[in-house]
């Protein structure tokens, strides 16, 4: 059997991942640099009976995928920059109503219109806290296109499993990069479908009742269970209920269902970490330069530098970061922002004073030389 | 079509009553007209989806025993668009307020009209933001008193019928809560219509609009609709052009969005292979 090998840009790797995961509904609005995802799915979805719709704005496309998810579809939207800000209202509604959906945020320079065609990682905290009110969120990213494919499949799986929006935090560089991607055969990567209720039509179905397995099985609009959803604080029936005990249980549920599973949700990769004296924590595009910096230090100076790549950005994998950094003489966090994950790392490690920061915010990819400059300062030796 | 007698209990979630509307609110009459229209059409509860926005009127979705969502302020129509496109077999109805549909959701409203997607929008127009304390809406009208217009609204208001017509809705009608039977029949026609239908129902808010504008109690406000509206093209308009016209202003056949997407996109692409 021949492998399905493609040489494609990151947008296509994301599209292929979405299709592999069974995405059958996409609503979007044009914005750089995410538009290629919408364009690709506009062509691909109808070929398999799926639906694509270009909505009148970012807010509408977010609302539209929520509606389609309520009617049973595996849904996605994609956006960038200001579009991600506009989607926050709908992301909060999807959190509150526990509606599975995937939002690809192809990051570009900000704030405001910023720089639509260049790279940044300035939305990391916005992904976590961008929508008002207490909630939790799953956000993921990747640094090479094989992983973009895989993480996109995972995003759909987790959205369905956890009944939550999942945000893909790719960026302009991975979007426009071209690499070899092997598209797996069906079944090679597990695809998880929504858990649907087994309660017979005609019997009482509670859309927000946790079952013995810790799941809240769903039904679809039109499937006969006739449930209600609201963005108001609600009870197991989905009906507004602002009694303090109910609200307390709801907020704890929305946060705990994700935060208590941080270790299970953690996807990460280690490069040269077995004997590392120095650890670079990186995510997304930044990881590529971190690996190069680590290799240069090892090969040219014999200094043992390793890289911990976070693919799950939220919930923050605090236990894993603490454990992997436990023996490090120093930790460098590399980000293309003014410091967003670095404070999370400082918060979890035993010695926060040993955490250093390497960044760029000039719309250029962080280079190995940028990270090596930090290593030189820390180790006193440079390459 | 149904030949059984109307039983409201078949269509409501009785456990969630009493509803939260004030005494004298017009929205209950709209709800009654909607449910009677659904009954007249013989629709199965499982086949109906009611998607609302935010505000007094939009609380309607929770009380009805269909597939229901109380969504975000202004976002009922794009959410409903997702429901309808995902499952075109559902009869999707969007009852919402004048602020929801014409202010914060105004852009969604005109694009839903333009797409001609088979959704019935019912604008429960009481000319005020009731839930938030009586602020003026784009439908209040110049001179109306509101909590944010203590000296009278300086804005001109929309004519919703002209707006819907101009944006391409293929069924556009207006009625009032005084004319409850007419409202029932108009909603029935709107649901039967294939394409985007808009029904404006002039409703009343004695609590907010009524008190601030000395419009009287609910019965007086209802009487006002009786005295100040006329059937479309009435001879009375010649003497008093300020009378508000009721009736079906647009009823056209045009390609419906979900069918067009199925036939012109999916079927064609799949045939090509």
Give domain status of residue A206, yes or no: no
Let me know: does A326 contact A355? Beta carbons within 8 Å. no
Share of chain B above pLDDT 90, in %: 97
pLDDT at position A130: 98
Is B72 in Cβ contact with A226 (below 8 Å)? Answer: no
pLDDT digits (tens, 9 = 90+) for A287-314: 999 999 999 999 999 999 999 999 999 9
pLDDT at position B1: 65
Residue A380 — pLDDT band, cuts 50, 70, 90?
A: very high
Whether residue A152 sits in one domain with residue A268: no
Nearest residue on chain A to B86, judged by CA atoms? Answer: A68
- Tell me which chain B residues have a C-beta less than 8 angstroms from the C-beta of A60: 75, 77-78, 81, 107-108, 111
Give domain status of residue A218, yes or no: no
- Tell me which chain A residues have a C-beta less than 8 angstroms from the C-beta of B43: none
Nearest residue on chain B to A88, judged by CA atoms? Answer: B72
Whether residue A147 sits in one domain with residue A31: yes
- Choose one of A183, A211, A239: the last residue of a domain: A183
Peptide bond connecting A33 to the previous residue in cis, omega within 30 degrees of 0? yes
- Tell me which chain A residues have a C-beta less than 8 angstroms from the C-beta of B103: none
pLDDT digits (tens, 9 = 90+) for A257-276: 999 999 999 999 999 999 99
- How many helices (H) and strands (E) would you count in chain B? 12, 8
Whether residue A125 sits in one domain with residue A22: yes
B255 touches chain A (CB under 8 A): no
pLDDT at position A243: 98
Whether residue A174 sits in one domain with residue A70: yes
Whether residue A287 sits in one domain with residue A174: no
Report d(CA A171, CA A151) in Å as an integer: 14
- Choose one of A183, A201, A224: the last residue of a domain: A183
Mean pLDDT of A106-113: 97
Residue B273 pLDDT > 90: no
Residue B260 — pLDDT band, cuts 50, 70, 90?
A: very high
Residue A102 pLDDT > 80: yes
pTM (whole model) above 0.95: yes
- Three-class SS string for A105-151? ECECECCCCCECCCCCCCCHHHHHHCCCCCCCCEEECCCCHHHHHHH
Question: What is the CB neighbour count within 10 angstroms for residue A245?
Answer: 8
pLDDT at position B272: 85
Mutate to test the interface with A, among B67, B256, B262 (most CBs of A within 10 A): B67
Residue B3 pLDDT > 80: no
pLDDT digits (tens, 9 = 90+) for A127-154: 999 999 999 999 999 999 999 999 999 9
A355 touches chain B (CB under 8 A): no
Report d(CA A33, CA B227) in Å as an integer: 57
Mean pLDDT of B104-108: 98
Nearest residue on chain B to A59, judged by CA atoms? Answer: B75
Peptide bond connecting A315 to the previous residue in cis, omega within 30 degrees of 0? yes
Give domain status of residue A259, yes or no: no
Report d(CA B177, CA B202) in Å as an integer: 6
CATH of the domain at A364: 3.40.50.920
For domain B8-272, which architecture applies? 3-Layer(aba) Sandwich (3.40)
Report d(CA A240, CA A230) in Å as an integer: 7
A242 touches chain B (CB under 8 A): no
Give domain status of residue A331, yes or no: yes
- Tell me which chain B residues have a C-beta less than 8 angstroms from the C-beta of A46: 261, 265-266, 269-270
Which range marks the domain in which residue A310 is found? Answer: 264-379
Is B13 in Cβ contact with A228 (below 8 Å)? Answer: yes
pLDDT at position A1: 67
Total domains in the fold of chain A: 2
Arithmetic mean of pLDDT over chain B: 97
Is B86 in Cβ contact with A25 (below 8 Å)? Answer: yes
| Helix, strand, coil share (%) of chain A residues, nearest 5 | 40, 20, 40
Report d(CA A253, CA A233) in Å as an integer: 12
Share of chain A above pLDDT 90, in %: 99
Question: CA torsion sign, B186 to B188 to B193 to B195?
Answer: positive
Among A174-178, A211-215, A245-249, B134-138, where is mean pLDDT lowest?
A211-215
Distances (CA, A) of B131 to B26, B102, B108, B126, B232: 14, 16, 22, 11, 32
Nearest residue on chain B to A43, judged by CA atoms? Answer: B269
Give domain status of residue A205, yes or no: no
Mean pLDDT of A229-237: 98
Let me know: does B171 contact B190? Beta carbons within 8 Å. yes
Let me know: does A54 contact A103? Beta carbons within 8 Å. no
Give the tokens for residue A100: 């599975």
Query: Please, which residues have CB within 8 angstroms of residue B14's CB and are 6 or more apart in sequence?
Result: none
Mean pLDDT of B119-146: 97
The helix-helix angle for A368-379 and A286-301 (nearest 10°) equals: 50
Whether residue A76 sits in one domain with residue A175: yes
Report d(CA A141, CA B164) in Å as an integer: 43
Chain A to chain B Cβ contacts (< 8 Å): 141
Residue A38 pLDDT > 90: yes
A47 touches chain B (CB under 8 A): yes
CATH of the domain at A111: 3.40.50.970
Let me know: does A103 contact A131? Beta carbons within 8 Å. no
Mutate to test the interface with B, among A52, A87, A221 (most CBs of B within 10 A): A221
Mutate to test the interface with B, among A67, A88, A95 (most CBs of B within 10 A): A67
The sheet carrying B48-52 orders its strands as A228-230, B67-70, B48-52, B91-97, B119-125, B197-202, B171-176, B244-251, B229-231
pLDDT at position B126: 97
Mutate to test the interface with B, among A26, A50, A57, A64 (most CBs of B within 10 A): A64
- Choose one of A150, A183, A216: the last residue of a domain: A183
Give domain status of residue A366, yes or no: yes
């Amino acid at each position: 059997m021949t492998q399905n090998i493609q040489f494609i840009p990151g947008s296509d790797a994301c599209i292929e991942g979405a299709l592999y995961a069974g995405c059958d509904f996409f609503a979007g609005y044009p914005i750089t640099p995410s538009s290629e995802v919408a364009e690709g799915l506009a062509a691909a979805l109808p070929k398999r009976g799926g639906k694509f719709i270009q909505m009148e704005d970012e807010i509408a496309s977010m609302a539209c995928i929520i509606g389609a998810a309520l009617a049973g579809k595996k849904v996605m939207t994609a956006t960038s920059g200001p579009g991600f800000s506009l989607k926050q209202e709908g992301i909060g509604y999807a959190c509150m109503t526990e509606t599975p959906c995937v939002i690809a945020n192809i990051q570009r320079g900000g704030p405001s219109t910023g720089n639509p065609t260049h790279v940044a990682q300035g939305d990391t905290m916005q992904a976590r806290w961008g929508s008002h009110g207490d909630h939790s969120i799953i956000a993921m990213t990747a640094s090479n296109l094989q992983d973009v494919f895989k993480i996109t499949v995972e995003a759909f799986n987790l959205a369905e499993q956890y009944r939550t929006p999942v945000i893909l935090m790719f960026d302009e560089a991975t979007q426009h990069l071209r690499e070899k991607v092997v598209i797996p055969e069906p079944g090679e990567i597990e695809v998880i479908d929504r858990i649907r209720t087994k309660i017979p039509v005609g019997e009482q179905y509670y859309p927000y009742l946790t079952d013995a397995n810790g799941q809240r099985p769903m039904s679809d609009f039109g499937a006969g269970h006739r449930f209600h959803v609201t963005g108001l604080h609600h009870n197991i029936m989905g009906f507004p209920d602002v009694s303090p005990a109910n609200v307390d249980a709801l907020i704890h549920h929305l946060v705990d269902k994700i935060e208590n599973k941080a270790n299970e949700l953690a996807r990460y990769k280690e490069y040269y970490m077995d004997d590392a004296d120095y650890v670079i924590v990186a995510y997304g595009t930044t990881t590529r330069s971190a690996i190069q910096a680590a290799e240069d230090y090892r090969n040219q100076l014999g200094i043992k530098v390793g890289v911990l790549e976070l693919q799950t950005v939220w919930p923050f994998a605090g236990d894993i970061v603490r454990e992997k950094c436990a023996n490090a003489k120093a930790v460098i966090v590399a980000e293309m922002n003014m410091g967003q994950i670095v404070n999370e790392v400082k918060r979890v490690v035993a010695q926060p004073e040993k955490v250093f920061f390497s960044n760029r915010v000039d719309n250029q990819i962080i280079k190995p030389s940028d990270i090596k400059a930090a290593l030189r300062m820390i180790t006193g030796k440079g390459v | 079509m149904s030949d059984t007698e109307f039983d409201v209990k078949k269509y409501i979630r009785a456990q969630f009553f009493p509803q939260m509307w004030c005494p004298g609110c017009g929205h209950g009459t709209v709800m009654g007209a909607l449910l009677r229209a659904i009954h007249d059409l013989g629709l199965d509860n499982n086949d109906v989806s009611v998607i609302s926005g935010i505000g007094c009127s939009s609380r309607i979705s929770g009380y009805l025993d269909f597939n229901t969502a109380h969504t975000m302020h202004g976002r009922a129509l794009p959410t409903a668009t997702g429901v309808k496109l995902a499952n075109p077999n559902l009869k999707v109805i969007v009852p919402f307020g004048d602020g929801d549909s014409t202010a914060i959701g105004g852009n969604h409203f005109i694009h839903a009209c333009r797409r001609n997607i088979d959704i019935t929008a019912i604008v429960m127009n009481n000319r005020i933001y009731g839930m938030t304390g009586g602020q003026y809406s784009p439908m209040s009208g110049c001179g109306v008193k509101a909590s944010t217009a203590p000296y009278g609204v300086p804005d001109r208001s929309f004519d919703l019928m002209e707006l819907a017509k101009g944006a391409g809705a293929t069924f556009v009608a207006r009625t009032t809560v005084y004319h409850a039977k007419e409202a029932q029949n108009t909603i029935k026609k709107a649901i039967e219509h294939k394409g985007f239908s808009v029904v404006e129902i002039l409703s009343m808010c004695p609590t907010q609009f009524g008190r601030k504008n000395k419009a009287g109690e609910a019965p007086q406000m209802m009487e006002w609709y009786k005295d100040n509206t006329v059937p479309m093209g009435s001879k009375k308009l010649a003497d008093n052009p300020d009378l508000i016209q009721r009736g079906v202003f647009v009823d056209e056949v045009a390609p419906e969005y979900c069918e067009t997407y199925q036939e012109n996109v999916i079927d064609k692409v799949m045939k090509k292979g």
